[in-house]
Structure 1
Amino acid sequence: MEKDSMSGGSMDALRVSDYLSMRRDNFLLLRIVAALAVIYGHSFALAKPDGSQDVFIRLGWPMYSGDIAVAMFFVISGFMVSGSFLARGDVIDFAKARLLRIVPAFAAVLLASAFVIGPLATELSTGEYLRNPEVAAYVWKNLRFSSDMAWQLPGVFKDHVRDAVNGSIWTLPAEMRMYLLAAALGVFGLLGRRWLATASLALLAWLGIAHPEFIPLHQDWFRLAGYFLLGILVQLHKDELRIGHAAMAMLALLVYLSMRTQSAPYLFALALAYFCFWFAYRTPAWTRLERWGDPSYGIYLWGWPVQQLVVSAFPDARPWHNFLMAAAVAVGLGYLSWWSLERPALKLKDWRPRFLRRSMPRQNPQRGVQSP
């Protein structure tokens, strides 16, 4: 049995904090797989119907592959974003890091969709298309990160099954709200007091289930918020929570036995959250993947518009063909986005204007906290 060089103990069911201290995980692989799963799930909604179904729907799961993948993104995000605040200890640095991670790549895909894909795919003339005020509004409206998003561009993809230019971006306003939640927990000192934070998150979860009208969230975001809270809870209890094969198997069994009961969605959420950390820490680490960068966000952003272009080029392609072609292109664009835009932007996260710089040295990050 493999030994943990950090603690001298067995690798069986170590604590999350033990795995964090090793600085070796499969979160990058999991994010890439999740991004590809979103493209796979969307292929059945965008490509010409042929009677086939998403594998999870066919097996009777409560969510299709795209929903499962997005839920995993929010679990991982809750864990890492709360860890980022703990590591930085400063709301300005935290906000800057989050904005630099989300906005540049998002703005790029919006601009490319409006001013490159749009003119190529529209039924209108190029001049008529560019003069339409909806083109610029598509970019600015979506950059507001409001629930009232723009989905269509003039004359673009109008003969498709769905004419949305990018249906994946609906999660980004929800993600921004979750960043605000993590920042609020940090500013009020709750992230450093795990049981008080746990009680506060439990209260928020109860309000979201029993009285959603008291929570300022769009109704489509409540499920995502729940997964984000689970990620924060893992961060809060990383010194107690252990990740093991037996626990993963037990949770999977409980989900299977409760599949047709009212408790199924909640047990499924717990099992899926646990699976994220089981996959990250208990499967063989693909450390070489880190050398290539992180294309997951770019894959997620570019997947839908690329699939729509595949539909335009190959209108009779089956969902599986649409998935394979779009995934190959989206992976390439994901790496291009990482190396040309996302990675350079993230290098600015530690920069501060002179008037905001503190005279005192910055607090050192906590040991074992990941700071993306």
Structure 2
Amino acid sequence: MAHSNSFDAIRYYLAFIVVFAHFSILTGADNFRWFNTSGEAVSGFFILSGFVVYQSYMRNADTLLFCRKRLARILPPYVFIVMLCAVLGCVISNLPVSEYFSSSKLYRYLAANLCFLNFLGPELPGVFVDQPIHSVNGSLWTLKVELLLYATVPLVYHLSQKFGKKKTLIAVFIFSIMYKEGFLWLYENSGKEIYRIISYQFGGQLIYFYSGTALLLYFDWFERHIKPIFVSALLLYAMRSWIDVLDHISPFCFAVILVGIAFHTPKLNFIGRIPNVSYGIYLFHFPVIQCIVYSGMYDRMPNISLVLSVLITVALSFFSWYFIEKRFIVKKRT
């Protein structure tokens, strides 16, 4: 299998799609409505993880080492941003400092977010209360999904060893489709928003993650037939909005597009030689944009607000990489 790829370039692209989408949502900026595809970008991250993380486990099927590496990559910057927002929230809260730190809402936020149950405590006391969206960091919900997907890797790997990779992958895909369709059916028949939200959580993202894995496991076949497969995937993915049944295969089509680009755009490979701070960009951008909106800057200078949001986010991401993430990464990279 070829090792040279542009996965990092794609990660940056997906991260900035999420940034622009959230900038549009949080500011109400009509100019960026066409960027409002953050859900697809998030699923793209899961596809790349399915390829890379499963490959890591294949190289060394030591479950404890695997868990250690994955947690060391995810947890440090995640804990940092949760704690940073909790501490600095007092600066922009409309509550007195003493009341802020004695509020049960603060500790509910900390407990919920540190346990990856962000939906139980998305807000800080008195913070962003005059803005359309009060959440401190609406991006964090995906991290619990990411960890749950990682947790399935040893199980799926050993099942594929016992029953074969094709049967195992098909079973995973069927489960994921049934999960999503089941909760969407409940939503349509009850009108309860919670069912729609659950539909794109862990079970709904399994098909994206393991579409990436499928391309890894059948990579040689994929490379031999790359042109017809890639063109077909592009056409089917483009038509998914008009033909409902294509929605079930669109995750695999999306995976073909991303992995195909990753291994056939050598001019972008150089990006892999610089620190990959896309994870930091994903973690930091939401509260940064919220603070920009809180300051009133967007109302006065919308374009400068976007540039400043990006610059501050990138700066924080490099800080996180050099002073937090890099210190915890296990030496033997995967």
Q: Which amino acid aligns with 2:19?
A: I
Change (3 A) 1:260 1:109: same
Structure 1 gap ranges (5+): 1-16, 57-63, 351-370
Among residues 271, 281, 304, which one is paired with 1:289 in the alignment? 271
Among residues 145, 148, 165, which one is paired with 2:116 in the alignment? 145
Among residues 114, 132, 140, which one is paired with 1:169 in the alignment? 140
**Corresponding residue of 1:104:** 76
> 1:319: how far off?
6.2
Change (3 A) 1:254 1:329: same
**Corresponding residue of 1:186:** 157
Measured against aligned partners, the alpha-carbon deviations of 1:117-173 in whole angstroms (never above 9, x if no partner) come to x01211111221112232233222212123644210000011112111000001111
**Corresponding residue of 1:55:** 34
> Contact conserved, 2:233 with 2:257, CA < 8 A, in 1?
no
**Corresponding residue of 2:243:** 261
Among residues 27, 35, 40, which one is paired with 1:68 in the alignment? 40
- Is 1:77 the counterpart of 2:49? The answer is yes
Q: Which has the higher helix share?
A: 2
CA distance in 1, matches of 2:162, 2:54: 8
- Is 1:343 the counterpart of 2:326? The answer is yes
Structure 2 gap ranges (5+): 185-196
SS of residue matched to 1:54: helix
CA distance in 1, matches of 2:257, 2:154: 26
Among residues 255, 258, 265, which one is paired with 1:273 in the alignment? 255
- Is 1:316 the counterpart of 2:299? The answer is yes
Q: Which amino acid aligns with 1:55?
A: W
SS of residue matched to 1:151: coil
CA RMSD of aligned residues (A): 2.5
Deviates more, 1:245-254 or 1:186-195: 186-195
CA distance in 2, matches of 1:227, 1:27: 16
Deviates more, 1:104-113 or 1:236-245: 236-245
TM-score (norm 1): 0.78
CA distance in 2, matches of 1:147, 1:220: 15
> Contact conserved, 2:208 with 2:255, CA < 8 A, in 1?
yes
> Contact conserved, 1:113 with 1:165, CA < 8 A, in 2?
yes
> 1:87: how far off?
1.4
The count of corresponding residues between Structure 1 and Structure 2 is 319
Change (3 A) 1:166 1:210: closer
> Contact conserved, 1:30 with 1:276, CA < 8 A, in 2?
yes
CA distance in 2, matches of 1:224, 1:324: 32
**Corresponding residue of 1:225:** 206
Q: Which amino acid aligns with 1:240?
A: W
Deviates more, 1:64-73 or 1:104-113: 64-73
TM-score (norm 2): 0.86
- The higher-RCO structure (CA 8 Å, 6+ apart) is 1
Change (3 A) 1:191 1:202: farther
